[in-house]
Chain A
């Protein structure tokens, strides 16, 4: 029973509340709160005992007695890296928003609340607490986008909200059913460790699985349920979009591994093929859309769909390597997409406010630092060998190769397509003639403050991808173990290694 995780969890929201009264210094107050959370998370990361598969720094208190909801937080190999990613991304984005100097205190309040909600969803070790934070993540996004967004923002955000909440509320129903039906002797408990000890019959598992899958796939978003994405991405303020795309979508992938695969193994095995196909479709659709659109935000948006398709493949390969790759790739994608959106903002500022690729071009010669940093980000995104993304995608494909070889082969094309759209974006915005509307200036010191730390972490992981991997070695394989065994029972044919 420690208080550490509660501090990490509530610091950002607390700082956000302080920001309301801090007026002129609202941004800095929130930044300090996020930075403190980041420092705390780094300390936890260093102190984390990777050799133990158990939950660490557990806080467990009965929150609502009569519903059996626990206030239970804990970190293990599955979420520790994502906690690090979250605090880092939010700290950088809060700094970014602060340096923009145009946001009122309420903006930072909502950012702080969003930070806490995401951390809560990652740290929660109680099913309903997870659902609570998962739903809560959306409220700040609603206000941030609806008030400070661009374009037809109100309509876009209401659409996004309803889309995602339909999924989330189905998940709520599924979660309650899961807790109540696996309750033994009338005592209901929603703590994940308590639910995990009972296995439901296959039919029940299947409908609950579909409820959870609806929530997570919409949030990611995956191919058939991504309808909210284009308008949503167009209208969000960039710092919000960066964390939304970088971190919030990862919570969905994380949710599959935390809740679905261990608690609903039979259903996971049953729907494995369906989800693999969804992942595959997302990769192909996302990649193709990404190199046909000229809106820079949407290039990154569709590339996110493709990347999350990979992550989905990794999860549902139900293989040790695939699952590890999924978590590593979640971290990697978060790390590249946040600076990528920041660069979009910089490019737009140089192209007279336009975020269209056709209005850009020719910046690289006059802005070598920007070009260099962007190149690192772009190469990492397309999973250049030597980058950590390469390791992640490799592990995922390796995992899928073990189980479903055909899917792995098709998925390989996604790797190729990624280089097409990322390089296209880089070339069109950086090289060629200087576009008449473009003022090619290099980044300012303040921009560097935002960009350089993220790029530094990308490079660090490129040199040493073991860092996140070894944290999860003990835990992540265990999350897919039961489901993997369940597939073995149903399918006689295993691909020979």
Chain B
């Protein structure tokens, strides 16, 4: 008996990432510390590397596989590459973080890989069943990953919230898909498009319109498009920061990938129905996201709101339903990926070096003490705001180009005004980085034991005097006022007294950690105390600096020499034959 033909080559990226996930899961079972803490992340990165490599191998194929349920085309392969980059960065950020240690290394990293696999299925899907399969495969591991810092209540809350709201989104989506099937009689994207082309009556059919609306809502939940964004700030804030970083870029890429394919392939004939709806959502998203971000003092919440606004910008490229629209969305996704990763890498680094968590004070004054983190953050913020010489600027030009070209100039004006408003909060971060001294450590210190130690640490430094000292001779003093936990720079200014105080504090910290272990109190105290007890904070976490610097360089490169990226998105855009 002869089995059905299986195109292993086309399937290879997904096979690689799923197989890798299994291997990682099994390897994590070994007891050796080396295997769990070094080999498992390494295997994960290798898997993602293979995934990206195989995707590039299949770049130009343009074929249907698995009886046309999945499509292997440049569009999907391009997004696969973005997902791999996001995945690798997430692994590097997770490497020495709390999440994998608290759950288990094997499980943590394999969940990450399964999620990437789900996203890969999603962006290749051209059948509603595959679409839903990919959608769930990407979501469920993420629900778990959000809750991996198991002894921190907010992490659990984040996971639960994401689960509940994500399920609502999934339910809406699947109902919408069912209605679409009912209206068009096909689960296949091209079948739907044919059905819609065949009869114009169908295009005003209420079943179809209801289906479109529900599908848009379902996908908008995932892409955190307002007004379906309410979960975003809470989940982003509560989840472990490396996972937040991964979610904010990879989930967005996957959700926009499937949205593009759904709208520009399956529902293209009825584009008059949905484009105005999406345009409205985009405008709402831009307004809501930018207004929401204004008052935030938590960097993760700020970036969460900013991601809502950025989703609005991205949506503009989907609205116009043109080649240019697809290309500009894909271009902006890549730029958004690198600039957001750069910002998040800095947030992760500062979370470990200070005990201020993700509060904006944690980056205060790092311009002078930690330039290798400050510059990437600066570039990321400028790029998110769309300032020239960064990828964000070119990306925004491309999006504006697409909106004007597609007859949605008013949406372009929304993008522009939204960017202007967004400056208020992006610049606030930059002002903290460069124009304020580091805050006294007692500000917002969550652990009483640490706060006790830090009172001795730097009583003379008040934020104001530090700020005043900053502008005068920042270069000569190096770090005008660095709070203890972040101070183990090779900094001549750090006096002996300070060092002694820092040691004292570390002891206090580890004491606090031991106490916590003994009592097993699952509280926020742990989260702050643990990294301080484990590694010397701020020392040797080169992987975070690496991610931040590379991502920032990529952001600059996309702003100065964007041609390669333009070529890639042109190829990817041409996958959509209907728009040519």
Residues of A within 8 A of B (CB): 64-67, 69, 102, 104-106, 128, 131-133, 135-136, 139, 142-143, 146-149, 153-154, 158, 161-162, 165-166, 169-170, 172-173, 176-177, 180-181, 188
> Of A104, A143, A153, A176, which one neighbours B401 at CB under 8 angstroms?
A176
Is B291 interfacial (CB 8 A cutoff)?
no
Can you list 24 residue pairs at the A/B interface with Cβ under 8 Å?
Answer: A64-B566, A66-B566, A128-B397, A131-B388, A132-B389, A135-B387, A135-B388, A136-B389, A139-B382, A139-B387, A146-B431, A147-B471, A154-B436, A158-B423, A158-B424, A158-B431, A169-B386, A172-B396, A172-B397, A172-B416, A173-B412, A176-B400, A177-B412, A180-B401
Closest residue to B394 on the A side, CB-wise? Answer: A64
> A169, B474: Cβ atoms under 8 Å?
no
Q: Is the CB of A169 within 8 A of B419?
A: yes
Query: Which among A154, A165, A180 is the interface contact of B431 at CB below 8 angstroms?
Result: A154
Min Cβ gap B370→A in Å is 15
CA–CA, A188 to B400, complex, Å?
13
Q: Is B153 part of the contact surface with A, judged by Cβ < 8 Å? A: no
Shortest Cβ distance from A106 into B: residue: B475
Q: How large is the interface on B (under 10, 10 to 19, 20 to 34, 35 or more residues)?
A: 35 or more
B428 at interface (Cβ–Cβ under 8 A)?
yes
Chain A residues with CB under 8 Å of B476's CB are 104
Q: Name which residue of chain A comes closest to B405, CB basis.
A: A180
A65 touches B388 (CB 8 A): no
B398 lies within 8 A of chain A by Cβ: yes
Residues A148 and B471 in contact in the complex (CB < 8 Å), given A139-B382, A172-B416: yes
B9 contacts across to A, CB distance below 8 A? none
Name B residues whose Cβ lies closer than 8 Å to a Cβ of A: 327, 367, 382, 386-389, 393-394, 396-398, 400-401, 404-405, 409, 412-413, 415-417, 419-420, 423-424, 427-428, 430-431, 434-436, 470-476, 562-563, 566, 570
Residue of B nearest to A143 (CB): B434
7 tightest A-B CB contacts, nearest first:
A104-B475, A132-B388, A166-B420, A169-B416, A146-B435, A136-B388, A173-B416
CA distance A67 to B402 in the complex (A): 10
16 additional A-B residue pairs with CB within 8 Å, beyond A147-B474, A162-B424, A181-B404: A102-B472, A106-B475, A131-B388, A135-B388, A135-B393, A139-B382, A139-B388, A143-B434, A154-B431, A169-B420, A170-B416, A173-B416, A176-B400, A176-B404, A176-B412, A177-B412
Which residue from chain A places its CB closest to the CB of B401 in the assembled complex? Answer: A176
Cα A488 to Cα B566 in complex, Å, equals 45
Q: Contacts A146-B431, A176-B400 known; A165 to B420 CB distance under 8 Å? A: yes
Residue in A65, A161, A188 whose CB lies within 8 Å of B423? A161
Selected from B397, B404, B423, B435, the residue in CB contact (under 8 A) with A165 is: B423
Instruction: For the complex, give the distance between the alpha carbons of A143 and B427 in Å.
Output: 10
Q: Are A105 and B475 in contact (CB under 8 A)?
A: yes
Complex: A149 Cα to B474 Cα, angstroms: 13
- Shortest CB-to-CB span from A198 to chain B, Å, is 15
Asked whether A67 and B471 contact (CB < 8 A) given A158-B427, A166-B420, A177-B404, the answer is no
In contact, B398 and A67 (Cβ under 8 angstroms): yes
Contacts of A188 in B (CB 8 A): 401
Residue of B nearest to A145 (CB): B435
Once A106-B475, A135-B387, A176-B412 are accepted as A-B contacts, the answer to whether A65 and B563 lie under 8 Å apart by CB is yes
Pick the contact of A67: B397, B427, B434, B472 (CB < 8 A): B397
Query: Contact at A104–B397, with CB atoms within 8 Å?
Result: no
Chain A residues with Cβ below 8 Å from B387 are: 135-136, 139
Min CB distance, B488 to chain A, in Å?
23
State which of A148, A158, A172 has its C-beta within 8 Å of the C-beta of B400: A172
Are B397 and A154 in touch, CB under 8 angstroms? no
Residues of B with C-beta under 8 A to A177: 404, 409, 412
- For B431, give the chain A residue with the smallest CB separation: A154
* Known A-B contacts A166-B420, A180-B405; A173 and B400 likewise in contact (beta carbons under 8 Å): yes
- What residues on A are CB-neighbors of B367 within 8 Å? 147
CA distance A143 to B423 in the complex (A): 14
Residue picked from A135, A147, A165, A169, most chain B C-beta under 10 Å: A169
